[in-house]
Amino acid sequence: MELVLLLSALLLLPPVSLARAAPAARVVWPGLEERLFPQVRDHFSFETYDNETFPQRYLVSAKFWKKGFGPIFFYTGNEGDIWTFAQNSDFIFELAEEQQALVIFAEHRYYGKSLPFGIESTQLKKTALLTVEQALADYAVLITELKQQFGAAGCPVIAFGGSYGGMLSAYLRMKYPNVVAGALAASAPLLSVAGLGDPTQFFRDVTADFQKSSLGCVTAVRKAFQQIRDLCLSGAYDEISSKMATCNKISNKEDVYQLFGFARNAFTMMAMMNYPYKTDFMGDLPANPVKVGCEQIIAHKDPIEGLSALVGVFYNSSGLAQCYNIHELYQSCADPTGCGIGSDAEAWDYQVCTEINLTFNSNNVTDMFPEMPFTEAMREQYCWNKWRVRPRAHWLRTNFWGADLKSASNIIFSNGDLDPWAGGGINSSLSPSLIALTIKGGAHHLDLRGHNPADPPSVTEVRKLEARIISSWVKSAGTEQVQEQRAGAAAGSQP
């Protein structure tokens, strides 16, 4: 029903063409320059840090911009180095060329090189300024300042983001509608992170992806995990170590639990990055990695050795590793879907210990994974031990409206039906300007990636719809500004 209404509305909009030849090789991101902006450390206190600043990194390209008139496309950086997101969001550049836009990618505080306290930023007592609210204020201030610097005061701003960045693009439109005219929130799990929904949903949907790929795949995975459990109960740790090719010998139940988390994380990443072509976004993965992984486990007579080969699609893409260091390759944290490793992982761990709720669990009933509970009580204990903080489980529902978004406007919520995060997002349009789009055959924010010959037809159509909607927002914002200027001039001329 929503799509019918949307198509009817879009017939009234002028066409925007996105046709272009498929790139023979990786696109060179047009004219991106890396710059630093002196950002205020604490936007919400006039005393704590006395207006001290830190260097916030951002990337900018004016290659396609119609100076002073074209829109500004602003990517709300998420939990990582901003270059990673710029290099995997070619749709924004394709659209910028069509709509003559200035492109800005802003790095999130505490990630990449945007560190409020340098290398000490993720140490205890230095993390207090790592909040969604501070990050959004960073973006609002940066946009406002850069518009002045570029002579772009009258240029409408459209926010873009994927995953957590998609949440931020939606929040930015909701909190600062005076700054951004609209937002594309791709694969944004707005409901999950607010603690709404089913905690079994995520790993159930990961399982469903593997089930769709091959009927025997899930059965083989279940058998492998069951055999590992049986070997664990009998104390046959050496056999587990040998068949799973771990670098250090499995020697107790805690090691087996770590192994389960390590393996489950590979399935998660392969489901999220299940693109129809080779990528190196969050690890080097082949085209259709879920299918490749299923082929690996089914090809092995021994289920555990097959499981080892399957997780190697993610952990050993080069094929050169002789064994898996399960403690280095995977570190458990307050996000059961994985935090990664390194300083960015530490920052994300803190965020999911404070505002962002991700208490997903696997139960071996609705999913194929070992039972690995993660309750609110377990999260609270972990976060207190690690960070000396206690999560505020309901804060996002209050501060960012939870599921009650109907008073917002001009936001596209896009989700791929292969993406396990989709179940925690907005999947039905809420109003004529709060539009949900589903990408059939699409993984995690596939629409933000550039055109590729292997794209499913659905993502091509969704990108065209997104382009037309964004074009309409830009034109509407320009019209409103002209009307406001005329009204102001008329009022000023009255005696």
Active site residues: 163, 419, 444
**Rounded-to-integer distance, Cα 300 and Cα 302, Å:** 5
End-to-end CA distance of the chain: 53
Tokens of 95: 């659209």
In sequence order, the 6+-apart residues with CB closer than 8 A to the CB of 455 are 276, 446
Q: CA 66: distance to chain centroid?
A: 30
Q: List beta partners, residue 185.
A: 161, 413
Mapped to the 3 state alphabet, what secondary structure does 422-457 carry? HHHCCCCCCECCEEEEEECCCCCCHHHCCCCCCCCH
| CA-based nearest residue to 450, from 205, 98, 188, 171 | 98
**Rounded-to-integer distance, Cα 281 and Cα 292, Å:** 17
Q: Kind of pairing, strands 53-61 and 33-40?
A: antiparallel
Provide the sign of the torsion angle of the four alpha carbons 137, 152, 114, 425, taken in this order.
positive
**Rounded-to-integer distance, Cα 268 and Cα 242, Å:** 24
Q: Kind of pairing, strands 434-439 and 182-186?
A: unpaired
| CA-based nearest residue to 341, from 405, 268, 265, 406 | 265
| CA-based nearest residue to 344, from 335, 399, 266 | 335
Tokens of 233: 């109960």
Asked if 112 and 80 count as a contact pair (C-beta separation under 8 A), the reply is yes
Which helix or strand (DSSP H or E) is residue 439 part of?
strand 434-439
Tokens of 421: 């995060």
Q: List beta partners, residue 72.
A: 102, 157
Tokens of 373: 């509970």
